[in-house]
């Protein structure tokens, strides 16, 4: 399994647009992609404009498929003006749980 942790800084005045766009992307990801096992959106308690995505994919192929989806294209277009700087992502290997059901 492939885990992905993404850090994003959002412009305060764009927070509502960001949240609308990311809700659509995360919902579509887990609903429409069998290989997307988890897509959580977290907000930093100390900085309300700092968000994290925690994504889990069955494998690299599932992640590559995610990159081709219409909802990710919509997310990229909608979020283009929302971010202070480019997002920072880290790829991880899941240790536990060993399996998602």
Block residue for tokens 């959106």: 41
* Average pLDDT of every residue of the chain: 95
The number of helix segments (H) and strand segments (E) in the chain equals: 3, 4
**Which ranges of the chain would DSSP assign to H, the alpha helix?**
15-32, 60-66, 70-79
**CATH level 2 (architecture), domain 2-80:** 2-Layer Sandwich (3.30)
Share of the chain above pLDDT 70, in %: 99
Q: Please tell me the distance from the alpha carbon of residue 74 to that of residue 21, in angstroms, as a whole number.
A: 8
User: What is 51-73 written as a DSSP string?
Assistant: EEEEEEESSHHHHHHHTT-HHHH
Residue boundaries of the structural domains of the chain: 2-80
Mean pLDDT value across residues 48-53: 98
């Amino acid at each position: 399994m492939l885990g992905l942790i993404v850090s994003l800084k959002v412009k305060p005045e764009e927070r509502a647009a960001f949240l609308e766009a990311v809700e659509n992307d995360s919902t579509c990801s887990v609903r429409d992609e069998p290989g997307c096992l988890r897509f959580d959106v977290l907000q930093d308690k100390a900085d309300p404009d700092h968000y994290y995505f925690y994504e889990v994919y069955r494998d690299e192929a599932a992640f590559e498929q995610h990159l081709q989806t219409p909802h990710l294209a919509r997310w990229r277009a909608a979020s283009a003006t929302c971010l202070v700087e480019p997002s920072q992502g880290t790829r991880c290997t899941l240790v536990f749980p060993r399996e998602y059901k």
